[in-house]
Amino acid sequence: MTSKKLDLPIEVDQINTYLSDLRNHSPYDDEINDLIDYILQNGGKRIRPLICLLSFEMISNEERNDSSLAAACSLEVIHNASLLIDDIFDKDVYRRQQKSFYLKYSTFAALSLSYSLSSLALSLASRTQVIEIVDELIKAIHTLSTSLFLEQKFRSGKKKMSKDEAMQLIDRKTSSLFEAASVIGLLLGNSSKEDRDAMKNYGKLFGRAFQLRDDYFSLTSKQNELGKSGVWTDISNRIQTYIVLEAMDLVNPEETEILYDYYINKIDYSTDKIKAILVESGALEVVKKQITNYTDEANEILTMFPICPSREKLIEITNLLKV
């Protein structure tokens, strides 16, 4: 999360400690475990495992334990596995202020390690001995994988994406793990189907706000503030983000033609020119309002649950998404 800081040091430290100890439970040899350690200890805000743990505590009124930490960390492991693939797919040069893994070690190593991380995540989920949790994680992995197919389909087409298609992609690529985190947290406790459905919707709304916020700061932040290639690869790869689609509807006819030629007809313009059109289009203000609406809707869902410290922390995390 850019600009605003998450202040939950105890919870994050517990997650980091659990992740640092994974090699003691890993079936892999030292070389693979060293690479897994490199990936998992190379930063990260730990938002997904935090949502899982806090959701568990909110519904159960119990303290976190080994089972809840294992489930929460399975989500962080899968998240990192997906980032290895995303960086290859998006040709990103940097991740968390470091050279992307596939550039540092090779594409083959990145693909191989993504498989290893995926199996490790499922192993962690199975420690809970709750089959529904394993099923939920499997569904999230499947949704993440289909998002790549969907994104490639949209990219290779010679047409403008619809906003509904762009949101469908956000739901699969970003919201899916936040949905899983919210639902798995409740599956760890004594929850009803109605509670789980509500928190699944919370995760979807959180994910939409999270991705739109990420796209917003990709256009408004300096490169060295992002820790990744950000807007430059989004533009150079001609990715039709939700902001791009809003901009196409807002700019004057001449600029609409430029954006359409660049993103659809693959006619070259400088990334600076495209960025300037997007920033000045008014699309950022539209998306800023959408982020606020999604976060407010997500927090409204949380008010359905009893007041407790964990619920208030979830509200705090959600409010951090507002721009």
Phi-psi region of 156 (alpha: psi -120 to 50; beta: other; left: phi over 0): alpha
In whole angstroms, give the CA distance from residue 265 to residue 253. 16
Nearest alpha carbon to residue 58 among 205, 195, 174, 210: 195
Q: Per DSSP, which regions of the chain are E strands?
A: 94-95, 98-99
CA distance 100 to 94: 5
Q: How far apart are CA 235 and CA 312, in angstroms?
A: 38
Q: Please state the domain extents for the chain.
A: 9-319
| Lowest model confidence (mean pLDDT) among 36-40, 82-86, 170-174, 222-226 | 222-226
9-319 topology per CATH: Farnesyl Diphosphate Synthase (1.10.600)
Choose the weakest-confidence range: 147-156, 253-262, 279-288, 302-311: 147-156
**Main-chain dihedrals φ then ψ at residue 95, nearest 5 degrees:** -145, 120
Tokens representing residue 62 in the block: 């119990």
- Per-residue DSSP letters for 246-315? HHHHHS-HHHHHHHHHHHTS-----HHHHHHHHHHTTHHHHHHHHHHHHHHHHHHHHTTSPP-HHHHHHH
Share of the chain above pLDDT 70, in %: 93
Assign 95 to helix, strand or coil.
strand
Centre a 10 Å sphere on the Cβ of residue 161 and count the other Cβ atoms it contains.
22
Angle 217-117-87 from CA coordinates, rounded to 5°: 35
Q: How wide is the angle at C-alpha 40 spanned by C-alphas 37 and 41, nearest 5°?
A: 75
pTM of the prediction? 0.93
The whole-angstrom separation of Cα 235 and Cα 110 is: 24
Rounded Cα gap, residues 113 and 107, in angstroms: 10
Which range among 109-113, 148-152, 187-191 shows the weakest confidence by mean pLDDT? 148-152
pLDDT for the residue 2: 45
- Going by pLDDT thresholds of 50, 70 and 90, the confidence category of residue 148 is confident
In this prediction, residues 160-170 reach a mean pLDDT of: 92
Q: What are phi and psi of 94, to 5 degrees?
A: -125, 150
Query: What is the pLDDT of the chain when averaged over all its residues?
Result: 91
Q: What was the pLDDT predicted at 154?
A: 72
Tokens of 280: 């000045």
Tokens of residue 74, six digits: 């399975």
The model's confidence at residue 244, banded by pLDDT at 50, 70 and 90, is: very high
Which of 174, 212, 218 is closest to 295 using CA atoms? Answer: 212
Phi first, then psi, for residue 252 (nearest 5°) are -70, 165
Q: Which amino acid is at 281?
A: S
